Amino acid sequence: HVQLVESGGDSVQAGGSLRLSCVASGYPQYRTCLGWFRHAPGKEREGVARIDTIGGATYYADSVKGRFTASVDNEKNTLYLDMKNLNPDDTATYYCAAVNCGLSVGYMTPYPDFWGQGTQVTVS
């Protein structure tokens, strides 16, 4: 039973930083990559980052490249998303997700197999 629990969302001013966390448990049977997608009202879902929990390979959407960093602490089963230089376009609910590393290589699908309840990030 896959469980993903996010935390760390907040309201910040433009230019600010946030760290999102996601505690993961019950990984599926396939090799699992963890990642983040976001969804803002009136916009399409967007896969923003992904990391291979074993090799550490990462993917970032062009919209966040250079500003967001995904990392994983395997001992704590925790995924992080460090976000800096935030702007209002980053306002969204951010969801932690688990995907099959063998699928969508080099991409973070915004429609994953498993995802958490989401955490709200608001940038003003």
Mean pLDDT in the chain? 94
Instruction: Report the share of the chain in percent with pLDDT over 70.
Output: 100
How do residues 47-106 score in pLDDT, each as one tens digit? 999 999 888 899 999 999 999 999 999 999 999 999 999 999 999 999 999 999 888 788
Distance CA 118, CA 9 (A): 9
Give pLDDT, residue 106.
84
DSSP string spanning 76-116?
A: TTEEEEEE-S--GGG-EEEEEEEEETTSSTT---SS-SEE-
What pLDDT is attached to residue 46?
97
Please report the pLDDT score of residue 60 as a whole number: 97
Predicted pLDDT at 79: 96
Structure tokens at 27: 């990984």
